[in-house]
Structure 1
């Protein structure tokens, strides 16, 4: 009983502390946080801590793999960063007058970064699991966060990279760098995806692999910035599997091999086109969205940016895919029919005639459905009008 009381007391204290901190922090909008300069770098100059609200567009595990994998710093290693587990979500504003969304990210092995180079500054596997659980579950209710939840994030660190300002720990494992998430409304609901064509975010490819065709607008009123961090439906797409496109797209041609939920983040990329000379990358999730479509299709997901640069945010827009839909759904035929019903008591024969005073009536040969004491029949008329009657059967 004493142990339970101590645990309860600690939860109350932590929850109260978070609530007090949230109340003291300034509120920032997504549009303010994601404001950019003419070269696409961050124009935000606010102060910490702050809070920001929105609806979750992703589940905690669908973008990156949070499986713990501590790797100590090795000064002789020269390969790509060995970050171990990674955790990421995106949430979008629901406030009137605001627009856009923001990414929250956390990694395990900060100590392997070339400007850190210290294993003590990485999370151990146990510490990493605790951090993932802390951010994946609401601290007050214990409910696991999921897409469609309305949340509030308290932020103490934030870095700009890849074309957007992310909420993160600034590669710092100390508690002072933590960001916290709390649930405001469970199952608030996902925003309706905005329909987007490639022509709205891409120019026609110029054939030069050294250039990019992303439409960038620093005012964020058009192009990729207009949809940054938002749920969209990219329409009228077709997968591209043409290796010769490396001559014009260079390393930005990905083909179709990335249509694989088991691939790592950097390899879950595919190239699509609108058939009019525009090309765009799709980033696949860590779950299957079905087989590769053979014809035209629409992709629903999160419009985001991965420019791979801390100094150039004018490029690198992509779609993180969550659903695939046919672009032209099969036609639905709605015909006219007459619903005819009569009680099951007695023996009756349904007949029809073109006029109410007809001398000859035709037997309706279709068999009715029976249920709840009624006979029910759907008739598709073949003439301008029909009259129906019931004739007793001896």
Structure 2
């Protein structure tokens, strides 16, 4: 395990995630450097870190990464903004440009790496969401529209990144309220286009909140397969609302009811049954553009919590008929008129309390008269 090196510069999320007009990385810094932030998730919440070494085997396991580990950090310094993902995979040797099982972690080595990353080297504290940490970075790659802290797909210890605890239980940042209209435009009906708002200055649109906790209000899941004609491959329906599915299948499509559509990514823990109505989603704004070098689309919300609207409460004005409780079991009767009355028993229970008998009647528009009849 490598510790921090004195004199390493402190980088900002704002600089690290800067992009050009085509979505390529604009960062021009050097390694090593330090980065501070609050952990937004526990590693096991997003990807499956279970050890699963798979050899290259002549390409039979090409692309199969085995265990994966990922956390997001969000800036807390007043002059900084944004967030950054830290990622590590087990079977780098199964990447098409490496093709060498010796470049992957064995199961034992993988477990050792996870233990190293998940515990503060000084105190032994196991890092959890809400901890304020500092990460020492020796390598990073730009992929899918964002710059990730990683090992450069190498098991060489010289590229290890490592965490140091600054404050345990610092607290998760309050999610910023972001209407869907700030992230996407209304769909134009062309499945080949993307309506996600990309601003390379990062002053507006998805880039403004990338890697941060946000709350998108007024969403509803959509499952109509006809939307494939409008959204193409960006339509996922509701089948991804399942924590047991792998990362690539835990995606769903939502709308704000105004012609805008967006992708939600379900975590590895339960969020409850598929919401049937409107809800707010709280989570991490992520980007998975599918491109190794650029990305102006592919934004999604990794959901951590949903907030359902409070139930509607009807308050009605009730009528209470009451009389002294003298021990006689009177029967309460009612009639719609006094001229030629038609008396009938009131089919409601009599409640005795504090020396009185009471019957609570629901509100009625029609006029009614009441009397007590001796048994």
Would you say same fold, with TM above 0.5? yes
**Aligned 8 A contact 1:50 1:155 in 2:** yes
**Among 37, 46, 55, which residue is 1:72 paired with?**
55
Question: 1:330 & 1:296 partners in 2: Cα distance?
Answer: 12
In structure 2, the partner of 1:382 is none
Cα shift at 1:74: 2.4
**Aligned 8 A contact 1:235 1:297 in 2:** yes
Question: 2:310 & 2:148 partners in 1: Cα distance?
Answer: 37
In structure 2, the partner of 1:128 is 110
* Structure 1 SS opposite 2:58: coil
**Among 203, 210, 213, which residue is 2:195 paired with?**
213
**Aligned 8 A contact 2:68 2:88 in 1:** yes
**Aligned 8 A contact 1:239 1:270 in 2:** yes
In structure 1, the partner of 2:69 is 87
Cα shift at 1:333: 9.8
* Structure 1 SS opposite 2:15: helix
In structure 2, the partner of 1:115 is 97
In structure 1, the partner of 2:26 is 43
Q: Is 1:245 the counterpart of 2:227 in the alignment?
A: yes
Q: Is 1:58 the counterpart of 2:41 in the alignment?
A: yes
In structure 2, the partner of 1:18 is 3
Question: 1:201 & 1:214 partners in 2: Cα distance?
Answer: 6
Q: Is 1:281 the counterpart of 2:263 in the alignment?
A: yes
Unaligned residue ranges in structure 1 (runs of 5+): 1-13, 335-364, 368-394
* Structure 2 SS opposite 1:300: strand
**Among 122, 144, 147, which residue is 2:129 paired with?**
147
Question: 2:106 & 2:128 partners in 1: Cα distance?
Answer: 26
In structure 1, the partner of 2:311 is 330
For these two proteins, the number of residue pairs brought into alignment is: 319
Question: 1:118 & 1:60 partners in 2: Cα distance?
Answer: 27
* Structure 1 SS opposite 2:214: strand
Cα shift at 1:311: 3.0
Unaligned residue ranges in structure 2 (runs of 5+): 316-351, 355-375
* Structure 2 SS opposite 1:120: helix
Report runs of 4+ in structure 1 exceeding 2 Å deviation.
74-77, 328-334
Question: 1:194 & 1:331 partners in 2: Cα distance?
Answer: 26
Question: 1:204 & 1:30 partners in 2: Cα distance?
Answer: 30
